């Protein structure tokens, strides 16, 4: 920049006050030039945007760093005052793909055939042989379905369950878009008729389903306080599905096995599904049948 | 025109800056009817004279609308599944329609706002048509939220503040679109004020019927106290300029936010940072295409050939093709970059879209919405009015199909794949969206609502922006003959309320007889409003 240009630039930036002209200042509020006002407004908007984005990122990264530390100690899982932190372990070594978990769930919650809240996927191992992978709701610690709902119908309880208020849900299905596990099922037609229930329809007891709303696995939330494990776990003849509590560090399956949760996960190198999405699922898988490990999971 | 001139003293007119035309022109009996008179009669012709085809057209379009309503009732009774949706095709035709129909309202913003700000004079005869198109298509696009929602009877919850979740892109959609709707209404109304004042005079002349009286009252009410004085015109011009500037960022925000609803997820094909720009350019592109079609139809149906010429269509077409090229470029960028990502989800989505199960709609867009419009404009022989309108029609169809290609493939993609085995081993197959008569009928009905509402709007308000065209004609006249016309601002002054008429041009209110020359060029229709 030449000296002339620099001088020109300086004059442009700071007009020299003359006897006839008031100095342009922002503080008086009366003589704010349009350029300055627009500049200030733009920087304000920019700051707000940067602040919100970085706030979201910081909270997320803090969560991902904190999560393994919590597991290592095995107690005080979330810092919330809840007495339980529900978790599920699925031992793929024993799953024979009978799908009794799916039918038990559908019978219990009065669901249509295609509403597979726990879906048994037929997968292929590296050696090409098939294996089976039941997928309930992952009950994410950072669930992507919750922030996108326009009417706040999705929420996460203190005990770590992600539930839907079907009376509130309007059926935008943006949560189905957000869920990376395809664990959400819409009621495209009238639900299966259910007999009169002992409890009113509520997020923890979504029976019967509500037409035009989203439903999903609730880990049989209404049964958990009374000490019963979910239907899928209790009907599994192979003892694949364990329901556990991270706070008391215990997990139980349907054939009467009780394990120390943290020890069980560590000894069997349990993994979680699609942890690269930052969801921090509360469902752990114990692999077997010769599956190889890849980047898409995280060693607990 | 010549008859009422005689009723005024020439001396008075010579110095009055608000009179209609310079004295020299008015006294010349050889002159054809002045341009202003032509504009006024042409603008009010659709309001005053009902075309023969009006009721049959309204009948056919209403029948389509009724079919769509019946389909919607069926959908309400049987659930959203009757529209072809399933858990593996959870977003499909209604979302594509929402994006398409809100998108085509952008033509108004381009033609009216951008060309106004850039002081492009040839836009003048097109602005009312473009703004009316925006005004009509935006609410229709918004209405698609109703069949889209699984529980549309709970629509009120979306606008119920205690339930608001401010982190949801759908809520931002609601804010952005409703603000934009308000701006579109204001942007339609402000330039209309002066025209309503002029139109009220026309309505007061000629035959009176209850309908016309009602319309006259509405015109007077909506025109307020506008009398065409210099200060009012300045104020109005300032307001229109301000809204024109405001409407552009609003339009950009609407489609950006609409794209966030898709992009704020981890789904391959939706999680794209290009989406906001991609959606905005697509909306501008299809919006200009719709304006081309509507302008061409209005030109033919309402006999506006004297004002809207071939060059108007071709110039609009050039804007359309420029936007189309930009959109083609964005499409290319999106698929090219994603095809390199080599993650299972993205690679599968790109493959299925371009070469797999969705190849047909994708390549239909590429040919009809990407290549053909450019080819049409490349050669002088095809760059005719017919060529432009054909290209624009193709673009409208192709851009609807393109929205389906944007919405459906990612929604049907399986996300749960074998995490351990070979990448080809899928846990779940691709979903399929099936078009049903319900979803097609609702779509057709909404599409039919656009011409239906446009016909009604054009039978209610002046189809040409009279005041704006007069200003521009006057400016052109001043530029052509600076000495003769400089003294007179040839914009009619209108009296407000019951005041004494200033000039013969506005003796409308009291029903004074008008010279035969006034109506000479107005074709007598077969009825009135």
The more confident residue out of B308 and A290 is: B308
Q: What is the mean pLDDT of residues B203-212?
A: 80
Yes or no, beta carbons of A121 and B261 under 8 Å apart = no
- Report how far residue A240's alpha carbon sits from residue B37's, in angstroms, rounded to the nearest whole number: 86
* CA-based nearest residue in chain B for residue A135: B416
DSSP state at residue B155 = G
pLDDT of the residue at A35:
67
Q: How far is CA B221 from the centre of its chain?
A: 25
Kindly state the tokens that stand for B156.
């009120």
Q: Which of residues 80-109 of B touch A (CB under 8 A)?
A: 80-82, 85-88, 90-91
From chain B, the residues in CB contact with A168 under 8 A are 157, 163
Radius of gyration of chain A (CA): 27
Q: What is the mean pLDDT of residues B160-189?
A: 93
Which element (helix H / strand E) includes B43?
Answer: helix B35-48
Token pair 């913003």 is at which residue? B109
Q: Please indicate if any CB of chain A lies within 8 Å of the CB of B411.
A: yes
Q: Please indicate if any CB of chain A lies within 8 Å of the CB of B164.
A: yes
Least confident span in A12-21, B119-128, B276-285, B291-300: A12-21
Q: State the greatest distance between any 2 C-alpha atoms of chain A, in Å, as a whole number.
A: 94
* CA-based nearest residue in chain B for residue A121: B427
- Report how far residue B511's alpha carbon sits from residue B508's, in angstroms, rounded to the nearest whole number: 6
pLDDT of the residue at B499:
37
Kindly state the tokens that stand for A215.
């439903």
What is the DSSP track for A132-150? EEEE-----SS-THHHH-T
β-pairing, A283-286 vs A86-91, is: parallel
Yes or no, beta carbons of B414 and A182 under 8 Å apart = yes
- Report how far residue A173's alpha carbon sits from residue A165's, in angstroms, rounded to the nearest whole number: 14
Q: Please indicate if any CB of chain B lies within 8 Å of the CB of A299.
A: no
Q: Which residues pair with A258 in a beta bridge?
A: A252
- For residue B52, pLDDT over 60 is answered with yes
Token pair 């793929």 is at which residue? A92
Least confident span in B16-25, B152-161, B472-481: B16-25
Residue A127, number of CB atoms within 10 A of its CB: 11
Q: Count how many pairs of residues, chain A against chain B, have C-beta atoms within 8 Å.
A: 160
Yes or no, beta carbons of A168 and B78 under 8 Å apart = no
Q: Please indicate if any CB of chain A lies within 8 Å of the CB of B56.
A: no
- Report how far residue A48's alpha carbon sits from residue B457's, in angstroms, rounded to the nearest whole number: 42
Q: Please indicate if any CB of chain B lies within 8 Å of the CB of A169.
A: yes
Mutate to test the interface with A, among B270, B271, B416, B438 (most CBs of A within 10 A): B416
Yes or no, beta carbons of A168 and B148 under 8 Å apart = no
* CA-based nearest residue in chain B for residue A188: B81
Q: Which of residues 195-214 of A touch B (CB under 8 A)?
A: 210-214
* CA-based nearest residue in chain A for residue B166: A150
Which is nearest to B41 in space by CA: B278, B178, B281, B205?
B205
Q: Please indicate if any CB of chain A lies within 8 Å of the CB of B170.
A: yes
Kindly state the tokens that stand for B493.
């002054």
Q: What is the mean pLDDT of residues B399-419?
A: 91
pLDDT of the residue at B55:
95
User: What is the reported pTM?
Assistant: 0.81
pLDDT of the residue at B257:
94
Q: Is B363 exposed, middle or buried (0-12, 13-18, 19+ CB in 10 A)?
A: middle
pLDDT in tens, chain A (300 residues): 444 444 444 434 444 434 444 444 344 445 556 667 667 766 766 666 665 565 555 555 445 444 444 444 444 455 567 889 999 999 998 998 999 999 999 999 999 999 999 999 988 777 777 888 999 999 999 999 999 999 999 999 999 999 999 999 999 999 999 999 999 999 999 999 999 988 889 999 999 999 999 999 999 999 998 989 999 999 999 999 999 999 999 999 999 999 999 999 999 989 999 888 899 999 999 987 644 444 444 444
pLDDT of the residue at A25:
39
Kindly state the tokens that stand for B321.
């093709």
pLDDT of the residue at A66:
45
Q: What is the ipTM of this complex?
A: 0.79
Yes or no, beta carbons of A170 and B168 under 8 Å apart = no
**Listed ranges B60-64, B150-154, B264-268; the one with the highest mean pLDDT:** B60-64
From chain A, the residues in CB contact with B163 under 8 A are 151-152, 168
Least confident span in A77-91, B180-194, B384-398, B499-513: B499-513
Q: Please indicate if any CB of chain A lies within 8 Å of the CB of B165.
A: yes
From chain B, the residues in CB contact with A122 under 8 A are 427
Q: Judge whether A230 and A60 are in contact, CB under 8 Å.
A: no
Between the two ends of chain A, the Cα-to-Cα distance in Å is 59
Q: Is A23 exposed, middle or buried (0-12, 13-18, 19+ CB in 10 A)?
A: exposed
Q: Which CATH number fits domain A74-299: 1.10.10.60, 3.40.109.10, 3.40.50.10860, 3.30.70.20?
A: 3.30.70.20
* CA-based nearest residue in chain B for residue A128: B421
């Amino acid at each position: 920049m030449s000296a002339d240009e620099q001088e020109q630039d300086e004059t442009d930036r700071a007009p020299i006050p003359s006897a006839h002209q008031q100095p342009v200042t922002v503080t008086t509020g009366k003589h704010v030039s349009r350029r300055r006002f627009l500049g200030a407004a733009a920087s304000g908007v920019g700051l707000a945007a940067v602040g919100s984005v970085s706030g979201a990122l910081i909270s997320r990264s803090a969560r991902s760093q904190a999560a393994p530390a919590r597991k290592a100690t095995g107690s005080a899982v979330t810092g919330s005052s809840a007495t339980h932190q529900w978790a599920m372990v699925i031992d793929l070594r024993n799953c024979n793909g009978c799908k009794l978990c799916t039918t038990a769930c559908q019978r219990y919650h009065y669901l249509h055939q295609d509403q597979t809240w726990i879906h048994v996927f037929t997968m292929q191992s590296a050696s090409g042989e098939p294996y089976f992978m039941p997928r309930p709701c992952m009950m994410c610690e950072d669930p992507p379905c919750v922030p996108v709902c326009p009417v706040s119908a999705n929420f996460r309880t203190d005990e770590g369950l992600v539930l839907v208020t079907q009376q509130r849900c309007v059926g935008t299905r943006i949560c189905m878009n957000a869920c990376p596990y395809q664990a959400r099922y819409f009621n495209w037609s009238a639900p299966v008729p259910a007999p009169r229930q002992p409890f009113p329809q509520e997020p923890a007891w979504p029976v019967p389903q509500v037409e035009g709303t989203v439903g999903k696995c609730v880990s049989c939330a209404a049964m958990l306080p009374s000490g019963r494990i979910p239907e899928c776990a209790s009907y599994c003849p192979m003892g694949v599905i364990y329901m556990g509590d991270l706070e008391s560090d215990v997990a139980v399956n349907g054939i009467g096995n009780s394990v120390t949760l943290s020890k069980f996960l560590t000894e069997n190198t349990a993994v979680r599904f699609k942890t690269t999405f930052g969801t921090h699922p509360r469902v752990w898988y114990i692999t077997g049948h010769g599956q190889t490990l890849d980047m898409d999971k995280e060693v607990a | 025109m010549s008859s009422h001139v005689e009723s005024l003293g020439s001396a008075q007119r010579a110095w009055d800056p608000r009179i209609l035309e310079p004295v020299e022109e008015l006294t010349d009996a050889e002159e054809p009817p002045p341009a202003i008179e032509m504009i006024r009669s042409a603008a009010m012709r659709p309001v005053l004279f009902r075309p023969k085809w009006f009721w049959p057209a309204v009948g056919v379009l209403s029948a389509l609308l009724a079919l769509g309503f019946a389909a919607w009732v069926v959908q309400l009774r049987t659930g959203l599944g009757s529209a072809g949706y399933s858990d593996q095709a959870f977003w499909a035709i209604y979302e594509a329609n929402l994006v398409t129909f809100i998108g085509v309202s952008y033509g108004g913003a381009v033609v009216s706002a951008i060309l106004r700000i850039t002081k492009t004079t040839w836009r003048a005869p097109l602005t009312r048509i473009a703004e009316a198109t925006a005004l009509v298509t935006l609410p229709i696009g918004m209405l698609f939220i109703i069949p889209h929602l699984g529980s549309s009877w709970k629509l009120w919850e979306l606008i119920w503040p205690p339930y608001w979740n401010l982190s949801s892109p759908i809520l931002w959609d609601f804010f952005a679109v409703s603000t934009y709707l308000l701006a579109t209404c204001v942007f339609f109304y402000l330039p209309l004020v002066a025209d309503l004042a002029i139109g009220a005079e026309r309505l007061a002349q000629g035959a009176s019927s209850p309908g016309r009286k009602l319309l006259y009252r509405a015109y007077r009410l909506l025109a307020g106290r506008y009398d065409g004085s210099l200060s009012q015109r300045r104020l109005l011009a300032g307001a229109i300029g301000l809204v024109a500037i405001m409407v552009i960022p609003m339009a950009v925000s609407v489609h950006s936010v609409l794209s966030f609803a898709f992009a704020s997820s981890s789904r391959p094909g939706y999680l794209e940072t290009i989406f906001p720009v991609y959606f905005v350019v697509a909306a501008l592109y299809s919006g200009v295409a719709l304006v081309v079609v509507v302008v061409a139809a209005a030109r033919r149906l309402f006999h506006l050939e004297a004002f809207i010429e071939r060059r108007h269509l071709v110039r609009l077409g050039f804007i359309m093709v420029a936007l189309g090229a930009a959109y083609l470029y964005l499409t290319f960028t999106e698929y090219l970059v994603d095809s390199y990502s080599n993650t299972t989800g993205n690679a599968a989505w790109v493959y299925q879209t371009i070469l797999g199960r969705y190849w047909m709609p994708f390549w239909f867009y590429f040919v009809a919405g990407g290549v053909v419009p450019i080819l049409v404009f490349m050669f002088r022989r095809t760059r005719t009015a017919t060529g432009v309108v054909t290209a624009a029609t193709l673009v409208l169809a192709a851009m609807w199909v393109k929205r389906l290609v944007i919405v459906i493939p990612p929604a049907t993609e399986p996300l749960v794949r074998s995490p351990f085995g070979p990448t080809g081993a899928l846990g779940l197959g691709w979903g399929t969206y099936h078009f049903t008569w319900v979803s097609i009928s609702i779509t057709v009905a909404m599409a039919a609502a656009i011409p239906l509402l446009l016909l009604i709007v054009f039978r209610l308000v002046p189809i040409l922006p009279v005041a704006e065209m007069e200003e521009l004609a006057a400016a052109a006249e001043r530029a052509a003959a600076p000495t003769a016309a400089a003294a007179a601002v040839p914009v009619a002054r209108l009296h407000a309320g019951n005041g004494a008429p200033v000039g013969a041009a506005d003796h409308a209110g009291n029903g004074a007889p008008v010279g035969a020359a006034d109506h000479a060029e107005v074709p007598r229709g077969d009825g009135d409003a």
